[in-house]
Amino acid sequence: MKLLSLTAISVLILSASAAPAQSKTTKAKVAILGGGVAGISAAKNLVANGITDFVIVEARDELGGRAHDIEFAGIRVEKGCNWVQGLGTNPVNQLSKKWGLQVAVNDGTDVVFYDNHGKVNGTKTYNDFNDALDKTYDFALKRVDEADISSRACLNIVGWNPDTPLKQAAEYYAFDWEFAENPDVTSCNYAQVGDASYDGSFGPNSDDDQFVIDQRGFKYIFIQEANQFLKKHDPRLILNTTVKNIKYSDNGVTITAKDGHKIEADYAISTFSLGVLQHNDVTWSPKLPEWKRVGLFGFHMATYLKLFLAWEDQFWDNNQYTVYADPANRGYYKQVTWQNFNAFTPKNDTTNIFFVTVTQDQAYRLEAMSDNDIKKEVTEVVRSMYGSHIKEPTHMYVPRWHSDPLYRGTYSNWPIGELEEHHLNMKAPVGRVWFTGEAMSREYYGYLQGAWIDGGEVGTKVAKCIKNKCPKQPYYPEILLTDEKPKFVKRQEWI
């Protein structure tokens, strides 16, 4: 196996002083909680607005959050986000260009479909599904003032009926693989907002993806941004510090970490993932108000599990993607998306990584299994696809985002039932704590641009609070059904 040549990894990862933190108290005007993309962007915008008295408190030993690469089978692969989704003026695309991120062309149509009889032509079915999906977006826009329904209902209404394994596989590839949840639980009204996250929002021809293969990791571009305002060993960067409790009021915030370190701040910006906020990994004093919890618990933190596998030799097709249409198991390894890493790396660089992504219940199932059991299971599946001669993978890595107390999932998805007002409540400040992060972005939830744009906006708002007047952030203590009664026809009673 010839491996990708490793470029010198020159990322300057700023590290905090390692002094024991017991009973230590740090004071700052702003405490940014979490050092992912939203946290970095919030800090950058505080600085841009003249506020330099802040700290970033991060549980891990580096910045980046869900932008997180790991060593696998001799190269660095992205355990977390992997695609620049949306080109043009998308700030993530702009950062990618600014810092010379190495990316590969992504071509979703470079896909081969199989069923249990062998290779099948799935092009028409895949195109049909994409047409149906476009129709659901038009349909959702038309009925935007009406009560939400599921994406499944919308798909059915526009004529999509996944009554064959091939149709189900095409649907999985174009829907679940993006939203990390199926159409049955996903909002129809808001799936269309998710789609617009990169389809058209960022100018002409921006509706495209690029696959990041940079050996410095996707996080490199965000860390480079942080390096513009943080110096080496900057005491404002407090790494390896897990927040346990946040005490808030209209006058200030006290943050207590697991190791006893206290941070007293005039304002705090929480960038914790929706999953973390839902799991009570961090406690609040006083408890978060009910209107806020209703918003937070109603939204979905989905899980998109990339099961990394590598073999000695390539036995799969040269296409970027392979999709299997298993007659019985929607969402099982055989009906999800397999990705051929060799098709993304520069010519003559062979990694022999062929990884598979499972979502939702299959992801939770895998996370609960031992690595050995997963290896046995996936080897059998691959043998059933390519023949009994296939050996066990030489390498395997199972990310466990759903069970990780620092994430509790991979990215958010707008479920049926969550209203605009609920989402505003999720984001609304409590006392002097402001909330940002990927899930808090109405336009770009689920994507890096959501974290970057929303984090920046909240940083700017908090700077305004400090310098002159806090901008108003709406919230709804009660969300009532509309006064206007829907038309209701009483069901005829059986006589």
Ligand X SMILES: Cc1cc2nc3c(=O)[nH]c(=O)nc-3n(C[C@H](O)[C@H](O)[C@H](O)COP(=O)(O)OP(=O)(O)OC[C@H]3O[C@@H](n4cnc5c(N)ncnc54)[C@H](O)[C@@H]3O)c2cc1C
Residues placed in the known binding site for FAD: 58-59, 243
111: contact with ligand X by CB under 6 A: no
Which residues have a Cβ under 8 Å from the Cβ of 65 and sit 6 or more positions away?
34, 35, 36, 37, 38, 39, 80, 271, 451
Q: Does 411 bind ligand X (CB under 6 A)?
A: yes
Q: Which stretch binds ligand X (CB under 6 A): 52-60, 199-207, 317-325, 343-351?
A: 52-60
Pairing of strands 25-33, 54-57: parallel
Cα→Cα distances 71→74, 323, 342, 448, Å: 6, 26, 16, 22
For 323, list phi and psi in degrees, rounded to 5.
-125, 130
Considering only residues 360 to 389 of the shown chain, the ones binding ligand X according to CB under 6 A are none
Residue in the block written with tokens 């499972």: 358
* 282 contributes a contact to ligand X by CB under 6 A: yes
Residue by residue, DSSP assigns 435-486 as E-SGGG-TTTTTSHHHHHHHHHHHHHHHHHHHHS-PPP----S--PPPSSPP
Does 67 bind ligand X (CB under 6 A)? Our answer is: yes
Determine contact, residues 74/3, Cβ cutoff 8 Å: yes
Residues forming beta bridges with residue 83, ordered by sequence position: 211
Secondary structure of 344-374 in the HEC alphabet? CCCCCCCCCEEEEEEEHHHHHHHHHCCHHHH
Select 112 or 255, whichever has its Cβ closest to ligand X.
Answer: 255
The binder of ligand X chosen from 14, 21, 28, 36 (CB under 6 A): 36
**Least distance in Å: CB of 153 to ligand X?**
27
276 binds ligand X (CB under 6 A): yes
Least distance (Å) between residue 313 CB and ligand X: 27
Residues of the binding site: 58-59, 243
262: three-class secondary structure by DSSP: strand
The count of residues interacting with ligand X (CB under 6 A) is 39
Asked if 60 is part of the footprint of ligand X (rule: CB under 6 A), the reply reads yes
Among 208, 317, 438, 457, binds ligand X (CB under 6 A): 438
Q: Does 193 bind ligand X (CB under 6 A)?
A: no
Both tokens of 488, joined, read 């209701």
Is residue 35 a contact point for ligand X (CB under 6 A)? Answer: yes
- 63/154 with CB nearer ligand X: 63
CB of 44 to ligand X, least distance (A): 12
Q: Which stretch binds ligand X (CB under 6 A): 79-87, 106-114, 326-334, 473-481?
A: 79-87
Question: Under the criterion CB under 6 A, does residue 302 sit at the interface with ligand X?
Answer: no
The CA-based angle 126-402-398, given to 5 degrees, is 75
- Least distance (Å) between residue 376 CB and ligand X: 24
Q: How far apart are CA 30 and CA 286, in angstroms?
A: 20
Which residues contact ligand X by CB under 6 A? 34-39, 57-60, 65-67, 80-83, 85, 242-243, 271-273, 276, 281-282, 304, 306, 401, 406-407, 410-411, 437-438, 447-448, 450-451
